[in-house]
Amino acid sequence: MTRQAFQLPLDAERFLESLAAKQRKESTITRYRYDLADFFRYLEIKTESEIIQSKSITPHMAEEYFYILENERRYQLRTLKRIQTVLKRYFAYLLSTGKIQIDPMASLDLDESIWNKLTKEELLTRLEEKKLTGSLLSDSGLSQKQAAARPLLAPRNLFIVTLFLYYGLRLQEISNLKIKYINQGKGQIMIPEETGNPRTLRLTKSDQKLLFHYINVIPEPVRPKRPQDPLLVAFDFQRQTYRWSYETDAPKNLTEIAIQKMIREERKRAGIDRSVSARHFRNTFIIRALQQGQTPEQVKNMLGLQTILTLNKYIDYVEKEHSP
């Protein structure tokens, strides 16, 4: 079957039509068609299905696809970057039209290209880490109302930062955690395929206690209990308690935007005078793992990655730091 003869899914055809409506060059649209056809041909082979639903495409599938491009087909960096761009724009289109709720390309860190060199400014220093964790446990700088809410709120925020900094979770993975993914008895958290790279994390004893404490300080009426309930719950400062969603009849899920806002607020209160994001935490986790002697293969498995491709800039950074 030639590339031209391959029949794309309807969503992909509509995406190409949207490019034509924006007066993109015919050669560009043709190139996009070729790259999309190759991706969907791979999915057909993997799933043994001729009908690929957009919502069934997972981050792990995208990881596996790029693993094949890099390690089996030996594509050059320039080609990999081009295909990355095509798929990024396609899934952004699906998100904007409501066809999908989760971006399968998120696991390739496309917000900040994996091809860029890592700099020390993109990492959290030990002093900044100490300031942040200390501030999370302190009432310093809080108003009377904020201080009153702190015993309820601090365990949640500290647990979120812990997942970022010491387990390498992504923002998307944390926001989408549900009770059904938590095994408190074994101290395990499962990251499902639909929200990231599937893997099971084992919490340390102290972090198990932190999770237990966070859940149990939530007032009983709004505490997440059912399997589908979100693990991380939004907080209502006006009412000084965790929120309940009457639309879903469940505790109100803490969104990615709310987590980002929490990081900004906690960073400012800790006296860290520069922008710090979830990406800084993940970068720091990966660099420290490599510096502590973990091999790239081990780090890949810890993060549930299909390919070491994503780790290249981290490996380069550590090698450069250790070079004479």
Sheet with 199-202, strands from edge to edge, namely 182-183, 188-191, 199-202
- Tokens 């970068």 — which residue? 283
Residues 69 and 201 placed together within one structural domain of the fold? no
Q: Which two tokens stand for residue 302?
A: 């810890």
Residues 152 and 235 placed together within one structural domain of the fold? yes
Q: Which CATH number covers residue 79? A: 1.10.150.130
**Percent of the chain residues past pLDDT 70, beyond the cut:** 94
Residues 92 and 149 placed together within one structural domain of the fold? no
Residues 33 and 101 placed together within one structural domain of the fold? yes
Taking CB atoms within 8 Å and a gap of at least 24, the contacts of 284-292 are: 284/123, 284/124, 284/129, 284/165, 285/164, 285/165, 285/166, 285/167, 285/168, 286/168, 286/311, 286/314, 287/118, 287/123, 287/314, 287/317, 287/318, 289/168, 290/314, 290/315, 290/318, 291/318, 291/321
At residue 250, the 3 state secondary structure works out as: strand
Residues 182 and 231 placed together within one structural domain of the fold? yes
pLDDT confidence of residue 271: 93
pLDDT confidence of residue 114: 52
In a domain, 115, yes or no: no
pLDDT confidence of residue 153: 92
pLDDT confidence of residue 115: 55
User: Average of pLDDT values for 34-41?
Assistant: 93
Residues 129 and 97 placed together within one structural domain of the fold? no
Last residue of a domain, which of 108, 130, 152? 108
Contact 10, 55 (CB under 8 A): no
Residues 134 and 81 placed together within one structural domain of the fold? no
Element (H, E) at 251: strand 250-251
Amino acid type, 276: V
Range of the domain at 309: 120-318
Residues 198 and 89 placed together within one structural domain of the fold? no
In a domain, 84, yes or no: yes
Distance CA 95, CA 106 (A): 12
The percent of the chain in helix, strand and coil, each rounded to the nearest 5, is 60, 5, 35
Residue 324 has pLDDT above 70, yes or no: no
Distance CA 47, CA 93 (A): 23
Taking CB atoms within 8 Å and a gap of at least 24, the contacts of 42-49 are: 42/68
pLDDT confidence of residue 323: 60
Counting the structural domains of the chain, the total is 2
User: Average of pLDDT values for 17-36?
Assistant: 93
Beta strands in 93-223 (DSSP E): 182-183, 188-191, 199-202
Q: Which two tokens stand for residue 314?
A: 């981290």
Last residue of a domain, which of 49, 84, 108? 108
Residues 131 and 266 placed together within one structural domain of the fold? yes
**Region of poorest pLDDT, from 77-86, 107-116, 305-314:** 107-116
Q: Assign residue 48 a region: left if phi > 0, alpha if psi is -120 to 50, beta otherwise?
A: left
Residues 131 and 193 placed together within one structural domain of the fold? yes
Q: Which two tokens stand for residue 200?
A: 């099971």
Distance CA 127, CA 258 (A): 25
Residues 42 and 82 placed together within one structural domain of the fold? yes
In a domain, 269, yes or no: yes
In a domain, 2, yes or no: no
Last residue of a domain, which of 108, 131, 165? 108
Residue 111 has pLDDT above 70, yes or no: no
Task: Give φ, ψ of 223 to 5 degrees.
Answer: -75, 135
In a domain, 157, yes or no: yes
Contact 181, 229 (CB under 8 A): no
pLDDT confidence of residue 22: 93
At residue 69, the 3 state secondary structure works out as: helix
